[in-house]
Every structure is written in C-alpha cells, then in structure tokens.
Structure 1
Amino acid sequence: MAEVEFERRLERLFAAGSELDDAQAFAARVERRLNRGWTARRWLIGAAGIAGGVIGASQLVFSNLPGRVETAEQSARALGAGLARVSPNPDLLAALSGDYGLWMAVGLAVLTLGYAVSRMIDEF
C-alpha cells in the first residue's frame, strides 16, 4: 500500500513542475528568433520571385515571340485547310454507333471502375 501512495505522490511532483525565474525572458527570446526566421524567409521568397520574373521576362523578350506567333498562325491556317478536305468515314461512324461502340463504352467503364477501386484501396 505504501508503494501506491509513493507512486501517486511522485506522479504529482512530476506533474506540477515549478516555473523558472527566466521563463518569460526565454519565451520572448524564442519568439524573436522565430519572427526573425520568418522575416528572412519572406525576404528570400520575395527575392526569388523577383529574380524568376526578371529571368522569365528576359527569355520572353529574347525569344522572338511575335515571329513565332506569326508562324503558328500560318501553320494553323494550313492545318485548317487540310482538315476541311477530310471527311469522316461513314463505316467508322456506323461501327461506333453499333455494338462495337457499346463494348468500347463498357470497357471504359470497367477501366474507370478499376481506377476508382485502386484509389480507394490507396486511401484506406
């Protein structure tokens, strides 16, 4: 019985820790260091953002963007003209609208279900 009382008393002594005299000063020093670290991080992130913006802008200026846009427009016009001459194959449309299209839809549904089940297994 004495051992149980001793253990309870010992637990109470460890649970009730005394506050040190310099606890407030220690907490203030820790907070100052943390705030200084956050200030440095903010400055570094801002500097990295500015440097990235300058690098991106310089690459945009030196990449001859207007000439590339004009070339892309010409390519798009040529592709559009070529696609206008191509007509869809009626046999392909008939195959997709019949049983073949149904089996494709079933296959895609099974694949989607398998993906969903695998994601659920990963989550749990």
Structure 2
Amino acid sequence: MAEVDFERRLERLFGEAPDLPDAKAFAERIERRLDRGWNLRRWLIGAAGLAGGIIGASQLFMSNLFERVETAEHSARLVGQGIARVTPTTDMVSALSGGYGLWVAVGMAVLAMGFVVSRMIEEI
C-alpha cells in the first residue's frame, strides 16, 4: 500500500512543476532571441531566393531555350495538321495515332499535377 501512495505523490509532484525565481526573465530572454533572429532569417531566405532565381535564369538562357520553343512550335503545328486529318469516320487506332492520344495524355498529366500540387498545399 505504501508503494501506491508513494507513486501517487511522485506523479503529483512531477505534474506540478515548481516556479523558478527567474522564470519570467528566462522567458523574456528567449523571446528576445527568437525575435532577433527573424530579420537575419528573412535576409538569408531572400538572398537564397535571389541567387536561385539568377542561377535558374542563367540555366534557361544557356540551354538554348528559344531554339527549343521554336522546335516545340513546329511540333505543335505538325500535331495540329495530324489532328486536322483525323475524321470521325476513322477508327480509334488512327485517331489515337493522329494526336488525340497525345492530348488525352497531356490532359491526364495536367490533372495529375493538379492533384500533386493540391496535396502539397494541403500538407503545408
């Protein structure tokens, strides 16, 4: 019986933390430290974002982006011509090979990206 009383007393003592004489000063000191670090953090995050933007822009220019856009425009014209040749009377295989399958795949990819982005936003 003594053990049960001892354990109850011990639990009560641990449940009620004693007030320390410098608790208020300690809390104020910690709050000042936390507030002081935000300016530095903001500057570091901004500098990292600026550096990342500069690196990303330089990579785009170095990768011949404009040539690739022109090539993509040419490919889009070819796909458009292929779609124009498909008529409703053609069978499904030729319709898919004519460009409709590409648009279905693009639509599904956009939908999947939307799900991924919404999931990421939800978790943040």
TM-score (norm 1): 0.50
Higher relative contact order (CA 8 A, sep 6+): 2
TM-score (norm 2): 0.50
